[in-house]
């Protein structure tokens, strides 16, 4: 019996072994009961590595880091797609991340649980929020296997577990007042203030007080009273004419007189004093745009604030906005608060102090007010900008919706929003001869005494004859029946290289460009020198938007002679020119221009303090730099210098170079760039000044008088002379032709 029992046990085990090896069938029967069994697969345990499921989760979360909600939605399961649209899905994530002020987040995969049809992947997510610190949660994502791909089974808890069941996040914000902007002496440029928007209701004008109305508004707004009179006459009765804004203190006299026709609206908002000091550089604020909303919500803004949209206002946003505070709560579908996830207190905004001098800036804006052009004034030894004006300018108060009567009163005529000082790109004309002069000296092929007979014509080019500026003046004299007998109408004759710069002899500099290109295989010398002077690259000013300009290597002899006098494809900004003129004055150091003096919190030391930053040196040996400086002094002091006539009587030593650049569109651009040499006598830092007036005529007639006005303002507090075209700050009239040296680059290739 015992033997039979053991036989039965052996037969059962053999049968079971046969079933596990081949199953019933195989060849139509039980199979081989005694075949060697196939090894069993490893046993399945609860937690296993699941790289395919993890890869799907990682892809989903990486798409979330990029705000790629469409990519995330594509990874959802069919069931999830049926329960939520892409628009709603995107909105849930966007709203939650914005409410959290989640500037960024990171994640880590913790574990996976896998079966053939379903998977669960646990991950840890850490939201780095701007207002309430880090929020960290461990979350389990469930996935379904659909046609061999893992798809996410979505619910609100994948954002935060607290959002399951339709709960939402809300942030209660605490927003500090925006910081102020001051000039170098602490005079306000921008501040929160109660202001008045002034205008004229033409059918309410008291004719007996009309002169008082236009005079007082002109004083407050910086307008010529005759301009206001013309506007009244042009529009006739029944019209509202927006004028400007002012604080109660600024408008005290006007308000006390209250002449008939004057109307105003009081409002409280961010106020730009004096209708905007350096508006293109200081910038302006506007409401957050829909395109910007998500980015600023993630930074802790509630979305209703006005932010810096240009200039210093934009650059210093993090300082001027202060630190927002907030309390982040979870609310249920009925609006009741369930829990608080975090909170922070606001911190006051910082103030920004600029390097600008209020008085210099005011007169710079007046000087360019009725032109298109730019003025840059900077210290030669530091890169500190003390005035930067772009004309025409605009009133940044017009961007404030609270300024209802004058809101949007901004004409695009002449593109006032462009900062011509840093973004305007122009041919430099004869000011560029400074660079050609430097390249000639450094080549060793020319010395300061190299002679050249400067006549009317340049005949090196095979297919054309080029004329000096004196030829054009002679033609103008002949056209009115006069003989050519003045220094501006006769050829300059035999000149040294220094005298060539002093007289701005076009043929001499055409000769240099042609000679380097044709005879010496040094066609790139001038372009390389220009780039070493800082042209064709940004100056590095961080606080204001700027352009790079353009300097190309000449490809033909025509390109070479064009470039030698700053024409052709040469493009520069006035800021670049002021920067290299300052470098000439200080001995060769190119400083980074800066407009911010310091960032000052309410309490404690400044967060940022101005420090001069050298960014390069001019490519000139010291002896050649001295030769250049001597020549620039001759431009302003020699009786035949092109700037001498309009600088007569100036009590301060200055050096510089005139320029008249063909614009390709109407009249030439007028240039003058120079610097002062009076530090030892006045104890004021020497300054470099670059002036351009677009499409106006010759540099000596328009740019030199503006340069002089800036020098006089720097030393005396206001302009002391009246240009031939009219007083600074008033519309110009056609100047009387001067008898001094002129500079005209007309008739260039």
What's the Cα-to-Cα distance from 584 to each of 392, 437, 536, 652, 681, rounded to whole Å?
A: 30, 13, 18, 18, 20
pLDDT at 409: 62
**Per-position DSSP letters for 448-506, written without gaps between them:** TT--EEE-SEE--STT--EE-HHHHHHHHHHHTT----STTTS--EEE-HHHHHHHT-H
Both tokens of residue 22?
Answer: 């081949």
Q: d(Cα 236, Cα 230) in Å, to the nearest integer? A: 10
Q: d(Cα 220, Cα 253) in Å, to the nearest integer? A: 9
| 433-443 helix and 506-518 helix, angle to the nearest 10 degrees | 50
pLDDT at 11: 44
pLDDT at 490: 93
* C-alpha angle 55-60-66 in degrees, rounded to nearest 5: 125
User: Tens digit of pLDDT for each residue in 8-22?
Assistant: 444 444 443 444 443
Q: What is the DSSP letter of 732?
A: -
pLDDT at 29: 37
Using pLDDT thresholds of 50, 70 and 90, give the confidence band for residue 401: confident
Using pLDDT thresholds of 50, 70 and 90, give the confidence band for residue 735: low
Q: d(Cα 307, Cα 319) in Å, to the nearest integer? A: 11
User: Tens digit of pLDDT for each residue in 100-138?
Assistant: 999 999 999 999 999 999 999 999 999 999 999 999 999
Q: d(Cα 450, Cα 497) in Å, to the nearest integer? A: 6
Both tokens of residue 409?
Answer: 């009163």
What's phi and psi for 656, nearest 5 deg? 170, -165
SS3 content of the chain, % helix, strand, coil (to 5): 35, 25, 40
What's the Cα-to-Cα distance from 378 to each of 353, 568, 591, rounded to whole Å?
A: 16, 28, 10
Both tokens of residue 724?
Answer: 């031939």
Q: d(Cα 588, Cα 583) in Å, to the nearest integer? A: 5
Give the residue from 355, 177, 219, 383 showing the smallest Cα distance to 281. 355
List of domains in the chain: 1-40 (no CATH), 51-166 (3.10.450.100), 184-276 (3.90.1310.10), 429-572+607-621 (3.40.710.10)
Report whether pLDDT(37) > 80.
no
Question: Under a CB-based contact definition with an 8 Å cutoff, are residues 726 and 733 in contact?
Answer: yes
Residue ranges of E strands in 273-399: 285-287, 306-308, 325-331, 337-344, 351-354, 373-379, 385-391
Rounding to the nearest 10 degrees, give the CA dihedral for residues 174, 177, 179, 182.
-170
Q: Name which of 80-94, 559-573, 581-595, 734-748 the model is least confident about.
A: 734-748
Q: Name which of 243-252, 488-497, 728-737 the model is least confident about.
A: 728-737
Question: Under a CB-based contact definition with an 8 Å cutoff, are residues 361 and 337 in contact?
Answer: no
pTM of the predicted protein model? 0.85
Burial class of residue 622, CB neighbours in 10 A (0-12, 13-18, 19+) = exposed
Both tokens of residue 531?
Answer: 């780039």
Give the residue from 700, 691, 692 showing the smallest Cα distance to 743. 700
Q: d(Cα 588, Cα 621) in Å, to the nearest integer? A: 9
Task: Label each residue of 554-600 as H, E or C.
Answer: CCCHHHHHHHHCCCCCCEECHHHHHHHHHHHHHCCEEECCECEEEEE
| 433-443 helix and 525-532 helix, angle to the nearest 10 degrees | 110
Question: Under a CB-based contact definition with an 8 Å cutoff, are residues 253 and 217 in contact?
Answer: no
Both tokens of residue 193?
Answer: 């203030």
Report whether pLDDT(394) > 60.
yes
Sheet of 325-331: strand order equals 168-174, 325-331, 337-344
pLDDT at 410: 63
Question: Under a CB-based contact definition with an 8 Å cutoff, are residues 367 and 390 in contact?
Answer: no
Largest Cα span, the chain: 150
Report whether pLDDT(28) > 70.
no
What's the Cα-to-Cα distance from 142 to each of 117, 283, 424, 676, rounded to whole Å?
A: 11, 50, 58, 75
Using pLDDT thresholds of 50, 70 and 90, give the confidence band for residue 236: confident
Calculate mean pLDDT across residues 572-592: 98
Rounded mean pLDDT of the chain?
89
Both tokens of residue 176?
Answer: 């500090």
Using pLDDT thresholds of 50, 70 and 90, give the confidence band for residue 405: low
Task: Label each residue of 143-203 as H, E or C.
Answer: EEEECCEEEEECCHHHCCHHHCCCCEEEEEEECCCCCCEECCCCCEEEEEEEEEEEEEEHH
Write the CB contacts of 241 (distance below 8 Å, at least 6 apart in sequence): 199, 200, 202, 228, 231, 232, 235
H or E element in which residue 246 lies:
strand 240-247
User: Tens digit of pLDDT for each residue in 643-662?
Assistant: 999 999 999 999 999 999 99
């Amino acid at each position: 019996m015992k033997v039979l029992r053991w036989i039965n046990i052996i037969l059962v085990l053999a049968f079971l072994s046969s079933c596990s090896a081949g199953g019933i069938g195989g060849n139509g029967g039980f199979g081989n009961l005694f075949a060697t069994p196939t090894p069993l697969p490893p046993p399945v345990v609860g937690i296993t590595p699941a790289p395919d499921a993890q890869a799907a989760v990682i892809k989903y979360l990486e798409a979330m880091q990029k705000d790629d909600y469409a990519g995330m939605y594509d990874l959802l399961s069919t069931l999830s797609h049926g329960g939520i649209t892409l628009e709603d899905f995107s909105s849930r994530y966007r709203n939650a991340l914005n409410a959290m002020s989640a500037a960024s987040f990171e994640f880590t995969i913790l574990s996976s649980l896998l079966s053939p049809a379903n998977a669960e992947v646990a991950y840890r997510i850490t939201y780095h929020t701007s207002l309430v610190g880090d929020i960290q949660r461990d979350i389990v994502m469930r996935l379904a296997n659909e046609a061999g791909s893992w798809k996410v089974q979505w619910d609100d808890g994948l954002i935060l577990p607290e959002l399951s069941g339709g709960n939402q996040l809300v942030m209660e914000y605490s927003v500090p007042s925006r910081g102020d902007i001051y000039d170098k002496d602490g005079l306000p440029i921008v501040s929160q203030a109660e202001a008045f928007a002034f205008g004229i209701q033409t059918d309410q004008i008291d004719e007996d007080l009309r002169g008082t109305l236009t005079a007082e508004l002109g004083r407050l707004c910086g307008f010529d009273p005759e301009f206001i009179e013309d506007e009244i006459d042009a529009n006739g009765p029944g019209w509202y004419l927006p004028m400007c804004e002012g604080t109660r203190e600024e408008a005290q006299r006007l308000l006390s007189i209250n002449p008939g026709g004057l109307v105003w609206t009081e409002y409280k908002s961010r106020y730009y004093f004096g209708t905007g000091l350096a508006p293109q550089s200081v910038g302006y604020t506007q409401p957050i745009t829909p395109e910007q909303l998500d980015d600023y919500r993630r930074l802790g803004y509630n979305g209703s604030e006005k932010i810096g949209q240009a200039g210093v206002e934009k650059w210093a946003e993090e300082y001027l906005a202060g630190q927002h505070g907030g309390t982040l709560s979870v609310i249920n579908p009925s609006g009741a608060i369930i829990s608080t996830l975090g909170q922070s207190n606001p911190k006051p905004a910082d103030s920004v102090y600029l390097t600008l001098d209020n008085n210099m800036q005011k007169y710079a804006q007046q000087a360019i007010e009725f032109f298109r052009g730019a003025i840059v004034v900077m210290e030669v030894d530091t890169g500190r900008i003390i005035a930067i004006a772009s004309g025409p300018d605009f009133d940044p108060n017009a961007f404030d919706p609270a300024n209802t009567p004058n809101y949007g009163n901004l004409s695009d005529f002449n593109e006032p929003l462009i900062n011509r000082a840093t973004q305007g790109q122009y041919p430099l004309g004869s000011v560029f001869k400074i660079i050609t002069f430097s390249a000639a000296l450094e080549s060793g092929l020319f010395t300061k005494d190299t002679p050249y007979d400067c006549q009317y014509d340049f005949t090196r080019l095979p297919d054309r004859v080029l004329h000096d500026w004196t030829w054009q003046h002679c033609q103008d004299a002949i056209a009115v029946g006069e003989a050519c007998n003045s220094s501006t109408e006769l050829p300059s004759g035999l000149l040294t290289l220094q005298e060539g710069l002093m007289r701005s002899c076009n043929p001499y500099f055409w000769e240099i460009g042609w000679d380097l290109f044709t005879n010496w295989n040094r066609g790139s010398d001038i372009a390389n020198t220009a780039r070493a002077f800082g042209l064709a690259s940004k100056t590095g000013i961080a606080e204001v938007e700027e352009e790079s300009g353009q300097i190309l290597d000449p490809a033909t002899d025509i390109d070479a002679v064009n470039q030698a006098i700053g024409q052709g494809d040469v493009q520069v900004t006035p800021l670049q020119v002021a920067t290299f003129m300052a470098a000439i004055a200080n001995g060769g150091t190119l400083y980074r221009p800066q407009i911010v003096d310091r960032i000052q919190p309410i309490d404690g030391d400044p967060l940022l303090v101005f420090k001069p930053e050298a960014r390069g040196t001019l490519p000139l040996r010291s002896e050649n730099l001295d030769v250049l400086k001597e020549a620039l002094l001759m431009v302003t002091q020699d009786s035949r210098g092109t700037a001498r006539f309009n600088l007569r009587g100036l009590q301060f030593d200055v050096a510089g170079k005139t320029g008249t650049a063909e614009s390709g569109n109407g009249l030439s651009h007028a240039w003058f760039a120079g610097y002062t040499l009076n530090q030892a006598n006045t104890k004021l830092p020497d300054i470099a000044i670059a002036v351009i007036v677009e499409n106006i005529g010759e540099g000596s007639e328009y740019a030199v008088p503006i340069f002089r006005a800036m020098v006089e303002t720097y030393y005396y507090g206001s302009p002391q002379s009246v240009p031939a075209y009219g007083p600074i700050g008033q519309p110009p009239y056609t100047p009387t032709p001067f008898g001094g040296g002129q500079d005209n680059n007309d008739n260039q290739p």
